[in-house]
A and B are shown apart, each in its own frame.
Chain A
Amino acid sequence: MNTRRFIFWGGFIIILGLIIWGLIVAMNKPTGADVGAPAPITVTDHVQGPVDAPITIIEYSDFQCPACAYFQPFVTRFWNEASTSVRIVYRHFPLDNLLPDGSVQHPNAVPAAMASEAAAKQGKFWEMVDMLFEGQSDWESLPNASSTFLAYATELGLDPVKFTADFEDKTNEDLIQSQKNEGIRIGISYTPTFFVNGKIINNPQTYEEFKTLVESTASANPL
């Protein structure tokens, strides 16, 4: 009787243990095994760094995503530390999906992307990227964030009239959506998604881990 009980409860504990172990293994699996390679870099892309850089990071990002705001300083710092050997490409992936209750997931993501494109017209794309991420908590819940974006533009010394005109230019919206559609086509499902020399990487928690991962992925996949 005791042996039977022992086997029953032993089996019970082992099965639960296996379930937990299986979950941990499955969750630590590298992400993106089913994600395709990003499209080649074109003139419509925002690129920072030399063309022949041995490391190219392509980032699909959403200005209203808290995780993107968390990771952006990693990208900026990495570029600042090795700007001669690193090329950064920023692509829009605004999560403007409609939710079951009729609201939009990140309603200010597209307007923020429009602001970055308007700043790009005056040569300040990357500066605006940093400002948008740094100020994310200030504008993410605003019903209309355009005045905040205009204030950022003014702070960057941009021509406010031109900025406003470009901010409202619908052709920029087409560019933003086409980048997002390209991301969807290759199977991106979250932001930020980083590709190093065409290979998707996980999003590590610290800068040191990020740096190590980028460098090891780049050396394993030379351009």
Chain B
Amino acid sequence: MKNLKHLLSQPLQQIHSSAIVFILIIALIGFIDASYLTIEHYRGVIPPCSITAGCEDVLTSGYSIILGIPVSIVGSLFYLFILIGAFAYLESKNTLILKWALVSTILGFLFSLWFTFIQVFILHSYCIYCLGSAFSSTILFVTAMHIFSRYQEQNI
């Protein structure tokens, strides 16, 4: 927690542009994935039972909605936030949004763990789009941690 406070109080420096482009690409994939699920939710179509199994069970389960809000829209906004952060950095080296975006990947990762746990141990059904989102948010988390650790090394 102290490290996090320290990180947030300091400006991020010397992040390789390729790392940000990588984050941008992964966040874009996650954004498309989560937006697909969000649109699917709001289309109000009864999801048919698919031969590839799983998605309809996962998406119609009670776990797909928290306080009336579909979790996919939270996912879409999460990836949008990362996209804005990465883009702001590329566009004007603005690190403020990027820093918070990178920190938010911790939450993204924890939520992904929880939703994967639900699919494996509670629903016993797997939705490829949900697993895809879990995968992309994990990659974002690992990349963010990598950026932070390098930053710390530079500041010791």
Seen from chain A, the residues whose Cβ lies within 8 Å of a Cβ on chain B are 5, 8-9, 12, 16, 19-20, 23-24, 27-28, 62, 65-68, 70-71, 95, 97, 99-101, 103, 105-106, 184, 188-193, 203, 205
Contact = CB atoms under 8 A, between A and B. Distances in A.
Contact of A27 (B28, B43, B50, B56): B43
Contacts of B53: 95, 97, 99, 105
Contact of B45 (A5, A20, A23, A203): A203
Given A24-B39, A101-B124, A205-B45, A19 B31 contact: yes
A-B complex: 9 closest residue pairs judged by Cβ atoms: A65-B49, A190-B48, A105-B53, A190-B50, A67-B48, A189-B51, A8-B91, A191-B49, A67-B46
Interface string B101-132: 00000000000000000001000111000000
Contacts of A9: 87, 91
Interface in B54-71: 54, 56, 60
B47 interface: yes
Contact of A70 (B46, B83, B126): B46
15 contacts: A5-B92, A9-B87, A12-B83, A12-B87, A16-B83, A20-B39, A67-B46, A99-B53, A99-B54, A100-B126, A103-B124, A189-B50, A189-B52, A190-B50, A203-B48
A144 B43 CA distance: 36
Contacts of B43: 27-28
Nearest to B91: A8
B124 A95 contact: no
Contact of B32 (A19, A105, A203): A19
B49 A27 contact: no
B40 A27 contact: yes
Contacts, number: 78
Contacts of B125: 99
Contacts of B44: 205
B80 interface: yes
A191 B45 contact: no
A23 B72 CA distance: 15
B35 interface: yes
A95 B36 CA distance: 24
Contacts of A99: 53-54, 124-126
Contacts of A192: 48
Nearest to A192: B48
A97 B124 contact: no
A27 B45 CA distance: 11
A133 to B, nearest CB: 13
Contacts of B46: 67, 70-71, 203, 205
Given A12-B87, A27-B36, A62 B49 contact: yes
Given A5-B91, A5-B92, A19-B31, A95 B48 contact: no
Given A5-B92, A19-B35, A100-B126, A68 B52 contact: no
Contacts of A8: 87, 91
A16 B48 CA distance: 28
A66 B48 CA distance: 8
Contacts of A12: 83, 87
B64 to A, nearest CB: 14
